[in-house]
Amino acid sequence: MRIAILGGDGYCGWATALYLSSKGHTIAIIDNFVRRQWDFELGVQTLTPIRTLPERLLVWQELTGRTIETFVGDITDYDFLAATISGFQPDAIVHFAEQRSAPYSMIDRKHAVFTQVNNVVGTLNLLFAIRELAPDCHLVKLGTMGEYGTPNIDIEEGFITIEHNGRKDRLPFPKQPGSFYHLSKVHDSHNITFACKIWGLRATDLNQGVVYGTVTDEVTMDEGLINRFDYDDVFGTVLNRFCAQAAIGVPLTVYGKGGQTRGFLDIRDTVRCIEIVCNNPADRGEFRVFNQFTEQFSVLELAQLIKAVGGDLGLKVQIDHLPDPRVEAESHYYNAKHSKLEDLGLEPHLLSDGLVNSLINVAIRYRDRIDPSMFAPQVNWRVANNERRIVNALRPELLSEKVRG
């Protein structure tokens, strides 16, 4: 197939692009490099030293003989997006090109507005471009389990059958998003549902859990292909943060009681899920929702797991509890269904099968790059304007030149 990866220079997008290329598909990466610019804005860096996209793609071509086409631009620019879709003519589009951090969206008004404009407008542009230029293309959209929130009932995969006043209907599962970022994803889901209904588009919404790991078979082929490992308080995941803290002997920072429970999956399962969905597309006019995760853990369970594994590695790991900067239930019921992808052939890699060891070893290998000041939460959900240090005041055009290499 001809598959376009929007946001292909990012964490999930990069691993997906290499994986699908290795399977023989013709791949195009569409990216504006804004993810790299956010590192400069916030004064952080990925724990693993990643190269520029042109350097990465050159390494991939030299190793495999496979080329990956690139289109540099912003999908909120419809003219650019339309020209790209028209020129590449994809059979499937995998959409990772969104601002994906809840804390980033909660810094202040500016960041909240940017998140919603970037995400919602970009997806709307994409829907119109598919309708006009590639109406049979299958849209594979990365959603988030955070759309659902933490209801006191089982979370179904996208839809729920409700009986009310003697009548029954199958309706979208109620959404209780917990940040302006998660709200943007809900808006995306509604817009995609509507577009499929009125234009007969085909789309699959993958409500993804928290992804962990830097390793896929393709990434391990050469140091030049290494993926991101974000551990900071804005873009880092809780598991990455715990691994980095354990590697340098800093107490693991658990927010509140640590009962917050979420779904998790290995990056290798992310790329496999994308492949499964591309190989089994939605029908014309169909909007499908799959919950994309393999296990669920509470924050405290993760901390205890890291402490135990770290101890086996000779690390002295302690756990600290901090006031929770987010507005969320610190103890709650959580049972989300996630069978549809396994029914289609997913064979999960499980964190509970010993993968924590490899995650901590990555942090140990690069621990000289760890900045402990990046651990403390600086974005408070209860404050309208967080006083966050912005360390780079370069003009956007200069910043873009630097991150593009």
Catalytic residues: 144, 181, 185
Query: Residue-wise over 291-304: b if at least 16 C-beta within 10 A, else e?
Result: bbbbbbbbbbebbb
Token look-up 């991150």 returns: 403
Measured distance CA(384)–CA(12) in Å, rounded: 30
Q: Which residues have C-beta within 8 Å of that of residue 110, sequence separation ≥ 6?
A: none
CB–CB of 298/261 below 8 Å? yes
What b-and-e string marks burial along 91-129, b requiring 16 or more CB atoms within 10 Å of the CB?
bbbbbbbbbbbbbbbbbeeebbebbbebbbbbbbbbbeb
Of 89, 69, 56, nearest to 27 by C-alpha is 69
Residues in the chain, total: 405
Sign of CA dihedral 371, 376, 381, 386: negative
Q: How far apart are CA 183 and CA 113, in angstroms?
A: 11
Closest CA to 34 of 400, 397, 395, 393: 400
